[in-house]
Amino acid sequence: MHNFDFYNRTRIVFGEGTIARLGELAQPLGKKALLVYGKGSIKSNGVYDQVVESLNAAGIEFVEFSGVKPNPTLTHTREGIALAKAEKVDMIIAVGGGSVLDESKAIAAGAVSDADVWDFFLGKAEVDTALPVLTVLTLAATGSEMNGGLVVTNEETHEKLGMIKEPLQPIASILDPSTTYSVNAAYTAYSSVDAICHLLESYLTHSDDFAPLQDRYVESIVKTIIEVTDTILESPDNYQARAIMMWAATMAWNGTAPSGVGPFILPHHFIGHSMSALYDTPHGASLSIMLPAWMTWRAAQDPSKIAQFAKTVFDIDEADPAEAARLGIAEFEGWCRKIGSPTTLSAANIPLEGGPEAIAANAAPLRHMWGLPDYDEALILEILKPAIR
């Protein structure tokens, strides 16, 4: 076990009907909020009305800022920062999925700084402080509701960059599973893959040879996500399954899984982000392409950890590690396809001619920033090979 620091201050308020508590959570933070949301789906599913009612009842004034895109953009983020400054808000309230939460965190950092917000992502400025962020989550996927992480895309440079900063951890997040009933089948699938990927990246790439606690934590949550995703796709209004999924996605990326396992890498997010930046591939879809491809490449070097995954998550009873790994990858890829998340470039409408090269050329320059110095264009193309069909 390696030395580590763990800190997670986010209060989670979980369950049906809890949006009514938003106002009470906002009151200690000030009087005026920037209310950030996306393209308006919260107006059709009743979430917006619940938010407004709670804020009004608590006497919290708010200014609306809508239009956050999936893969939130730098331009829109800058507009939000300008509005937050002009309106002198005390807090940011994010209502939506990971994209809305991520952009809200960037606005929270930018609103109290003279630096351009992109400089935070480039490491040219430090996030020492930020406006407090509250969130009302409507998609169980990214874990952004209980961590200080965020990802924003610079549309001019086609760079999708992320950072994790303590001052950007939400003060509190409201998780009402019934808000996710309206998430369609495709995004339900992408979300499950996203949460699984958060767990598997540390699990498959950490360097600790004795991490039974952390490994079992990951295996338990992955197994549970697979089960409840199947249930949700059969009956999208199943509260229990939606609830377990929502808490599982939060637990998947709140800092617990990698505690003490030492350094690990995020190759799937690294390459997947370039797919999203170039082809607007949904984040989870890019990860279901990456995971089987990367595991296949990795198993050729050392199949042991993937064999453990195959055994514990899919109950594969096969002594030979290479064969166990092969069967486990096939099982996982088959499950992704079954739930409707692509595992090949063509299934995600990424051109087979030129697409892989473009992805590699987009990602490779960022490899040092991601702590992946070996991931040059040639290696990225090699890893992508099983998905080029």
Task: Pick between residue 4 and residue 181 the one whose CB is nearest to its own copies.
Answer: 4
Q: Count how many Cα atoms sit within 13 Å of the Cα of residue 152 in the half-sphere of its side chain.
A: 27
CA distances from 118 to 34, 45, 93, 359, 363 (A): 20, 33, 21, 22, 18
Site pattern 72..111 for its own copies (x: CB under 8 A): ----------------------------------------
Tokens linked to 18: 């809890």
Tokens linked to 20: 């009514």
Site for its own copies in 226-255 (CB under 8 A): 227-228, 239-240, 243-244, 247-248, 251
In angstroms, what is the minimal distance from the CB of 222 to its own copies? 10
Task: Give 63's contacts (C-beta < 8 A, 6+ positions apart).
Answer: 32, 33, 34, 35, 83, 87, 89
Is residue 340 a contact residue for its own copies (CB under 8 A)?
no
Q: What is the CA radius of gyration of the chain?
A: 20
Query: Which residue, 270, 186, 271, 273, is CA-closest to 232?
Result: 186
Is residue 57 a contact residue for its own copies (CB under 8 A)?
no
Tell me which H or E stretch contains 172: strand 172-175
Q: Could you say which of 45, 154, 182, 256 contacts its own copies (CB under 8 A)? A: 256
Is residue 354 a contact residue for its own copies (CB under 8 A)?
no
70: left (phi over 0), alpha (psi -120 to 50) or beta: beta
DSSP state string for 255-279: SSTTTTS-----HHHHHHHHHHHHH
In angstroms, what is the minimal distance from the CB of 114 to its own copies? 25
Is residue 20 a contact residue for its own copies (CB under 8 A)?
no
Is residue 1 a contact residue for its own copies (CB under 8 A)?
yes
Is residue 317 a contact residue for its own copies (CB under 8 A)?
no
Is residue 217 a contact residue for its own copies (CB under 8 A)?
yes
Is residue 212 a contact residue for its own copies (CB under 8 A)?
yes
Is residue 13 a contact residue for its own copies (CB under 8 A)?
yes
Is residue 221 a contact residue for its own copies (CB under 8 A)?
yes
Instruction: Name the residues that contact its own copies, by CB under 8 A.
Output: 1-18, 177, 210-213, 216-217, 219-221, 223-224, 227-228, 239-240, 243-244, 247-248, 251, 256, 259-260
